[in-house]
Amino acid sequence: MKRFFSILTLLIALPGVVFASGGHQPELEKANNSLADKDSLQRGAVLFSNYCMACHSVKYMRYNRIARDIGWDDDTVVAKMSKGTARVVDNVETRMMPGVGQQVLGKTPPDLSLMARLRGTDYIYSFLRGFELDETTGEWDNKLLQGTSMPHVLENMQRHFKPEDYVQSTRDIANFLEYVGEPAKLQRYDLGWKVLAFLFLLIILTYLLKKEYWRDVKH
Ligand code: HEC
């Protein structure tokens, strides 16, 4: 029995040890985003199209799915995200020609469909906000991915937006990418509340039933 418990303890402690050994990483800022905020998702989709799709795709998503999930109709999604050049059934591809990323930036920009799942929403938020001007070289670098080949594409936004609007815009983009990483989360959240409400009702009913059963029993 004692051995059983020590193995159990080990199993419970193991993930902590594995995660803790992940090397030194700068602190991530919290995105504080909300998938329930449809306006934020819509703003995020437009920002993603304007600032990111020149290089990145989210090719596991189709335009019509995005429209349905974030509250647009079919015409709106292609107008807002592709300036009318894509069809609603198309996957969300980058506008960059194949090979150009490698040639110009030295690296092909990755597809971002699963990036939020891979690295987390806070990482994306912090990565976007992590560009710092290197005083010696006069070039931008990113504190989360040093020597990155991604340019600081939000430089103008950072310079000209009010700080709180800049925060909100980067949060909207991270929010949109979290949604893209797991579209079913939106429905799951919806369903979650219903399940909880149902269970709560069930508790009350069960309690009343118990009282009813034991009413005439002396105890
Ligand atoms: C000019 C092209 C370009 C644009 C525009 C661009 N990116 Fe990138 N991005 C890249 C490249 C190239 C990489 C690969 C960087 C590397 O591995 O060094 C990258 C990598 C990334 C990564 C992965 C970072 C990691 O840790 O591996 C994320 C997340 C990302 N981009 C988000 C965005 C978002 C969000 C936008 C829009 C606001 C955007 N990018 C706009 C070129 C671009």
Q: Ligand 1 mean position to 97 CA, how many Å?
A: 16
CA angle 200-204-205, nearest 5°? 115
Residues with CB under 6 A from ligand 1: 51-52, 54-56, 101, 105, 107, 109-110, 112, 115, 124, 127-128, 145, 148-151, 153-154, 173
pLDDT at position 19 is 55
pLDDT confidence of residue 67: 97
* Ligand 1 center to 126 CA (angstroms): 13
DSSP string, 23-56: ---PPPPP----TT-HHHHHHHHHHHHHHTTTT-
In this structure, which amino acid lies at residue 159? R
pLDDT bracket for residue 116 (50, 70, 90): very high
pLDDT in tens, 51-103: 999 999 999 999 999 999 999 999 999 999 998 899 999 999 999 999 999 99
Query: pTM for this structure?
Result: 0.83
> To which residue do tokens 């800049």 refer?
166
CATH code linked to domain 32-202: 1.10.760.10
**For the CA of 108, the nearest atom of ligand 1:** 12
What is the structure's pLDDT at 138? 87
- The per-residue pLDDT for 159 is 94
